[in-house]
Amino acid sequence: MLFNLLSNHPMNNHTRKTISRSYAPVEYDGKLSQHQQTAHANSVYQPHDTVFLNQYQNHLYHRALFGLSVFTQEEIKGMKKEKRKRIVKVHKRTQKTLNVWKQEIIVALSNKLFTDIFPKSPFTKELLADCETDPIFKCHMSFKDLRINKPAIIQKLLCEGILPKDFYKLNTNTQCK
SS3 101: helix
**Cβ contacts of 119 within 8 Å, gap of 6 or more:** none
C-alpha dihedral sign at 151, 153, 159, 163: negative
| Predicted local distance difference test score (pLDDT) of residue 18 | 47
Q: Hey, CA dihedral for 32, 34, 39, 43, is it positive or negative?
A: positive
Residue 39 belongs to a domain: no
Question: Which pLDDT belongs to residue 27?
Answer: 57
Q: Which residue type does 48 have?
A: H
Q: How many CA atoms lie within 13 A of 67 on its CB side?
A: 13
Give the count of domains, the chain.
1
Sequence letter at residue 25: P
Predicted confidence at residue 36, as pLDDT, reads 53
Residue 38 lies in a domain: no
| pLDDT for the residue numbered 131 | 80
Which residue type, as a one-letter code, is found at position 111? N
Residue 32: the pLDDT is 61
Nearest to 149 by CA among 108, 105, 113, 112: 105
> How confident is the model at residue 45, as a pLDDT?
47
Entry pTM: 0.66
On whether residue 31 sits in a domain, the answer given is: no
In single-letter form, the type of residue at position 107 comes to: V
The pLDDT tens digits along the chain (177 residues) read 444 444 454 544 554 444 445 455 555 566 665 555 544 444 444 455 566 888 999 999 999 999 999 999 999 999 999 999 999 999 999 999 999 999 999 988 988 888 888 888 888 888 788 788 888 889 899 999 999 999 999 999 999 999 999 998 888 766 544
The answer to the question of residue 37 being in a domain is no
Task: Report the alpha-carbon distance of residue 156 to residue 166 in Å, rounded.
Answer: 14
Contacts of the segment 106-112: beta carbons below 8 A, 24+ positions apart: 106/139, 106/141, 106/146, 107/131, 107/133
Is 33 part of a structural domain of the chain?
no
Residue 160: other Cβ atoms inside 10 A: 15
Domain that holds residue 9: 2-25+53-169
Residue 163 lies in a domain: yes
Residue 45 belongs to a domain: no
In a domain, 17, yes or no: yes
